[in-house]
Structure 1
Amino acid sequence: MDYPLISCDDHLDLNQLPTDLWTSRLPAHLKDRGPHVEMIDGRAVWMCEGKNLGSWSGVASGFSGPKPIFTALDRGGIVDQTERRPAVAELRLADMDRDGVYAHVIFGPVTSLNFEDTELRDACYRAYNEWLKEFCAAAPDRLIGVPMLPPEPEAAVSALEHIIALGGFRQANLQIAMAQPRLEDTRWEPLWEMLEKSGIILSFHVTVFASVSRAFDKYKGSPGATFLHVKMFIEQFLDPFVDLFAWGILERHPGLKIVIAESGIGWLPWVIEELDYRHWRLWEAEEFWADRGGIPHKMKPSELFKRQVYGTFQQSPTAVALAKFYGEDKLLWATDYPHPDSIWPNSRKILAEFTEGADPAFVRKIAFENAAKLYGLDLPAQVDAIAAE
């Protein structure tokens, strides 16, 4: 692989962000209420409105002993994680070089920032997006930031206007598990229209919030709990994914592009096949619907899917097997740096392993060409690969 690998799902997590991100950027009347780091019981944690949002890695936790969960940094031998490498541009770029990966598509905190005060919430999203623009400016062709949209239609439209004004962004993320109301509501229509007109791609990414953790409380300390997280990835996406087809969102907006990130792609074929069957059943009763305004769903869901929906994956032989069904140009490989699911710092090695025997042209598409085209990246066709460790 002598081409520049592009990873389409990587992260900047809350525990790595600079402590002054919000205290230095929020409007004066909100600064004292915004997220900030405090020392509590000897641990550095993010606090906001009296709520603990999670730990901050800039101070050693003092934890010792075996870990129940390994991140990519653990696997890569990064002992001192107080450097917050993913959120320091030079260190992140060094980690990308070590992995032999040219560019990262970078999602923000997967933890929920859904504060009760919507003014504070929206100001926090705005401040993060402004900081992200500055962070990615260190290497704009390699650090491809994905700004965040608030989970309500009107606030999301306002945030998207700000994102467009900032310039340089190619994609925006809606934490779909938090989105209210459901996507069939007409209040979302201005967002679809603005996304389509601007060419900004919309992504749905898995979200971690308090109710998810509480759902597993009774199983803590059990090895079996590790398996239960599989449900979360599909549960968060199934309703909104079906809504895209059921309510004609993709059909009305042919220029709207959707990236489904970090939910896996193996569950999608059955859903699409079932949607196609339901589409056939609908048209089978065309005479019935003719007297009731007709059927607006002209295209088969599988046609819309192949036209407008992209999906990310890490190490997935399933992705190779689904190339014909999914469409070779809609599959996007990722490293998920620095999360527990990540394949960093062995991305090239693992990519080669699970695509062994596949057409080299297909591998080039999923690891480079598809992302370069989707994000409008003018990258060199060939680079000197840096061997992964």
Structure 2
Amino acid sequence: MTGETNGTTELPLVISVDDHVIEPAHLFETWLPAKYRDRGPKPLTAGIGELAYIGGKYKFTTDPEGQQTDWWQYEGDLFPYKRIIAAVGFSRDEMTLDGITREQMRRGCWDPKARLADMDLNHVEASLCFPTFPRFCGQTFAEARDKEVGLACVRAYNDWMVEEWCGDSGGRLIPLCLIPLWDVDLAVQEVRRNAARGVRAVTFSEIPTYLGLPSIHSGYWDPFFAECEATGTVVCMHIGSSSQMPAASPDAPPAVQAALSFNNAMASMMDFLFSGVLVSFPRLKLAYAEGQMGWIPYALERADDVWEEHRAWGGVRDLIPEPPSTYYYRQIYCCFFRDRHGVASLDTIGVDNATFETDYPHVDSTWPHTRRIAAEHVAGLSPETTYKILRGNAIRMLELDLDRRG
């Protein structure tokens, strides 16, 4: 499927592999079984006090006289929505840490019909959305004390995602589901349950040990990886899905973490390349969201050099039989929204490995200028390569029922 550009060539309609959804207030009241609703998340609108982003963590206070904000209340804790995560429609100087209500947001943040309309305005045909209140890979429920309710919340979120958020979109809204991170057997069951109804993407932590979970080197996650491989489910890892963002100093301004955000994706990719996971599961697909891609050429060069020069003492001589870049090109997808250096390095990054995102409705979002920004990035690329990075690779990665060229 194609659309218009600036009058010279046609630009394919974009498939965005990293957007976000603000959960509607009725989600858990509607989708959580009745016996859990008293203990499940509840929506709340109330004033917010001071809000800061320190060392990669949000710190806030409540204030009855403060800015009216929509929150979730869960197990005695409060989770506020912030303007920077529902930033579309605001000017750059208005994209702050202030609290926000759903009424103050652009409706496409939480309403699927309005989202489709905003996609139409933005040259986007299809969109994969990460969660907000559950956090990028469901950490909110993994940290819950009552794991029975936490599991019910994971399943309720997934049911809402598949049946309500994506259900009437004609395939344009692509389901992305959670797993119960605290139990690999339950995670396998949830992947299988959702794959049976056509889901082909699941969120996972870029660095599980930061969440107090076993590492990917331990073998603990192998049943999960095996089920994802068997069902064609892509393991999607968003920057910040380790609940930590890199910072040079604990008192650095938030801009430092924003500029370094790709570091977590780079660290995670190295972990996988040297873990043996991609050797053991050769059809497993990994996707890194919002990590950009300009760093990948050197990372691959260094990984291959270490494999060649240091493997005798580095613990990978018998574990990784081929250069690590082999497994990247075979099984890993990256994505970008503003990365001219990455586009200039596509020959090394891989024209079959790069995908595109719009990051709607976050502060980095290219909405409503995605068509122009995408056209500027792909200027000079062949039609075949343009098609692949804006659309075709996402179709192949997610096994989408859209056109299957490229």
Q: 1:281 aligns with which of 301, 309, 320?
A: 309
Larger proportion of helix = 1
Q: Please tell me whether residue 74 in structure 1 is matched to residue 72 in structure 2.
A: no
Counterparts of 1:3-82 in structure 2, within 5 Å, are 3-12=12-21, 16-40=22-46, 41=64, 42-55=68-81, 71-75=87-91, 81-82=104-105
Post-superposition Cα deviations, 1:8-49, rounded to whole Å, max 9, x if no partner, equal 11111xxx3221211333234421121111233253311111
Query: Equivalent residue of 2:27, what SS?
Result: coil
Does the CA-based 8 Å contact 1:203-1:258 persist in structure 2? yes
Post-superposition Cα deviations, 1:162-194, rounded to whole Å, max 9, x if no partner, equal 2224x1211111133455111111111101111
Q: Which residue of 1 aligns with 2:4?
A: none
Query: Equivalent residue of 2:29, what SS?
Result: coil
Q: Which residue of 2 aligns with 1:147?
A: 177
Pick which of 343-352 and 79-88 moved more. 79-88
Post-superposition Cα deviations, 1:222-265, rounded to whole Å, max 9, x if no partner, equal xx532332234423x34432221222000111100100111122
Q: Please tell me whether residue 205 in structure 1 is matched to residue 238 in structure 2.
A: yes
Tell me the distance in 2 between the aligned counterparts of 1:324 and 1:105: 26
Q: Which residue of 2 aligns with 1:88?
A: 111
Instruction: Output the amino acid matched with 2:378.
Output: T
Counterparts of 1:209-248 in structure 2, within 5 Å, are 218=251, 224-235=253-264, 237-248=265-276
Post-superposition Cα deviations, 1:178-224, rounded to whole Å, max 9, x if no partner, equal 551111111111011111111111111123787669999855xxxx5
Q: Which residue of 2 aligns with 1:63?
A: none
Q: 1:184 aligns with which of 202, 217, 224?
A: 217
Distance 1:83 1:192, change over 3 A: same
Counterparts of 1:255-334 in structure 2, within 5 Å, are 255-282=283-310, 285=312, 295-334=318-357
Tell me the distance in 2 between the aligned counterparts of 1:213 and 1:275: 21
Alpha-carbon distance, 1:144 to partner: 0.7
Instruction: Output the amino acid matched with 1:51.
Output: D
Alpha-carbon distance, 1:320 to partner: 1.2
Aligned residue pairs: how many?
Answer: 358
Does the CA-based 8 Å contact 2:246-2:260 persist in structure 1? no
Query: Equivalent residue of 1:146, what SS?
Result: coil
Does the CA-based 8 Å contact 2:395-2:404 persist in structure 1? no
Instruction: Output the amino acid matched with 1:25.
Output: W
Identity %: 29
Tell me the distance in 2 between the aligned counterparts of 1:238 and 1:150: 25
**Residue segments in structure 2 that go unaligned for 5+ positions in a row:** 1-9, 47-63, 95-101
Q: Which residue of 2 aligns with 1:385?
A: none
Distance 1:138 1:307, change over 3 A: same
Does the CA-based 8 Å contact 1:248-1:297 persist in structure 2? yes
Q: Which residue of 2 aligns with 1:387?
A: none
Q: Which residue of 2 aligns with 1:156?
A: 187
Q: Please tell me whether residue 138 in structure 1 is matched to residue 168 in structure 2.
A: yes
Q: Which residue of 2 aligns with 1:356?
A: 379
Question: TM-score, normalised on structure 2?
Answer: 0.79
Tell me the distance in 2 between the aligned counterparts of 1:335 and 1:74: 16
Does the CA-based 8 Å contact 1:5-1:367 persist in structure 2? yes
Does the CA-based 8 Å contact 1:72-1:340 persist in structure 2? yes
Distance 1:74 1:208, change over 3 A: farther
Tell me the distance in 1 between the aligned counterparts of 2:340 and 2:316: 45
Q: Which residue of 2 aligns with 1:123?
A: 152
Query: Equivalent residue of 1:90, what SS?
Result: helix
Does the CA-based 8 Å contact 2:238-2:289 persist in structure 1? yes
Instruction: Output the amino acid matched with 1:32.
Output: D
Distance 1:115 1:27, change over 3 A: farther
Tell me the distance in 2 between the aligned counterparts of 1:68 and 1:28: 33
Alpha-carbon distance, 1:101 to partner: 1.1
Distance 1:344 1:49, change over 3 A: same
Alpha-carbon distance, 1:125 to partner: 1.5
Instruction: Output the amino acid matched with 2:171.
Output: D
Q: Which residue of 1 aligns with 2:397?
A: 374
Distance 1:92 1:333, change over 3 A: same
